Amino acid sequence: MEKLSWHPGAVTDLSDGPSRRSAADLFAQLCVAAVRGLPFGLSSLVAPSFVGFALINGFTFSVDMLLLTLLHGVLGLAVWLAISLSYASAFALSFVLNRAFNFRSHAPVGRQAGMFAGVVAINYVAIILGIGGGLAVAGLEYHFARIIAGICEGLFIYCAMRWVVFARRAEPRVCSVI
């Protein structure tokens, strides 16, 4: 399995040599390659996990918008209910894909899911309903309101996933007395 390490200024390959690569390994390689190709020294500022997050959440945001359109535009559900249902569905998908492919976490899923649920709840109330719903109520077309809220949400969720939900915890040190 290829192990990649990123720190400002470099991406390091820590693999033991060639082996059969999983879909998560291939996704990680794609993200590392994308970062290496960034111009103007941006590769020292942008983590591969940010690129992975952008790819995954771009996809899940598309799922969110499709569901929102179907639920509100086609089925006629109230905007708040359509936003809520499409949002919950997209974020469940985002959690699974980011855990498996982007952050490649093997930590217990229960603790991470609980933390993620808290992050999503804060995000939902403050950004989705607060900003997105507020802009829609103020007269901005609901798709545009959701896109603006989505930009704010993306930055918040990435930071929370990287440094809280999927943060790599240090292994407890074992002290021995000689």
Beta-carbon contacts of 79 under 8 Å, excluding residues fewer than 6 positions away, are 72, 133, 136, 142
d(C-alpha 126, C-alpha 135), whole Å: 13
Instruction: Tell whether 178 is covered by a domain.
Output: no
Q: Residue for token digits 């109230």?
A: 78
53 and 34 share one domain: no
Span between the terminal Cα atoms of the chain, in Å: 37
pLDDT value of residue 10:
47
Q: Are 124 and 157 in contact (CB under 8 A)?
A: no
Q: Tell me the two tokens of residue 100.
A: 């498996």
CA trace torsion 146, 150, 57, 37 (10° rounding): 130
62 and 77 share one domain: yes
68 and 149 share one domain: yes
Phi-psi label, residue 104: left if phi above 0, alpha if psi -120 to 50, beta otherwise: left
DSSP state of 9: T
Residue range 23-45: mean pLDDT, rounded: 93
- Asked whether the CA dihedral 141, 83, 92, 169 is positive or negative, the reply is positive
Query: Is the pLDDT at 175 greater than 80, yes or no?
Result: no
Least confident span in 11-25, 93-107, 136-150: 11-25
pLDDT value of residue 20:
74
pTM (whole model) above 0.85: no
Higher pLDDT, 8 or 35: 35
109 and 34 share one domain: no
For 144-160, write each residue's pLDDT tens digit.
998 899 889 889 999 99
88 and 111 share one domain: yes
Number of domains observed in the structure of the chain: 2
For 47-90, write each residue's pLDDT tens digit.
999 999 999 999 998 999 999 999 999 999 999 899 889 988 99
> Can you give the residue range of the structural domain that contains 132?
48-165
12 and 92 share one domain: no
